[in-house]
Amino acid sequence: MSWSALSLGANMGNRIVNLRTALRLLKLNGVKILARSDIFETAPFGVNHQPRFLNACIAIETDLDPYSLLALVKSIEKETGRITRKRWGPREIDIDILLMENTVIRDPKLQIPHPGMPERAFVLKPLCQIAPDMIHPLKGKSIRALWENIPERDRSMVRIGNL
């Protein structure tokens, strides 16, 4: 079993239901949920003119290798109703693999750790709730330290509730 961190985001449909459905489907597929962050409402990233997102992170334990985990999260996105649109556009659910212990993968299909994670407040704040001392394998810094590097102006988000 290996430890991993996933981010979940949604800004279309019933956002909370979509996040919780993804969580339930992960469990039904043998993924053990170790920790859950709060849910935060955040401004959209990349494409500004779209609804606000709900974001959360989870720590999991799984026997799946990185590519099998990727296949699982993509199938769960589809089952939860995700429609393919433009990059960074609206989505019913988005599940990203952020970390898999100290694994580093850089290929066109999969990048671990997630390359955008160190600059994204909407990922770092919930991740800091569940794994503040986890060390980013490429940056050599803890998740807490990465969060502390986010400018104050970019930290605006509202806690909605529990995942």
Catalytic (active-site) positions: 82, 91, 94, 96
Q: Residue 146 CB: number of other CB atoms within 10 A?
A: 23
- Amino acid 13 reads G
CB burial class (10 A; 0-12, 13-18, 19+) of residue 138? middle
Neighbour-count burial for 28-42, b at 16+ CB within 10 Å, e otherwise? eeebeeeebbbbbbb
**What is the phi/psi pair of residue 80, to 5°?**
-80, -5
Token pair listed for 67? 């590519």
CA 14 to CA 63: how far, in whole Å? 31
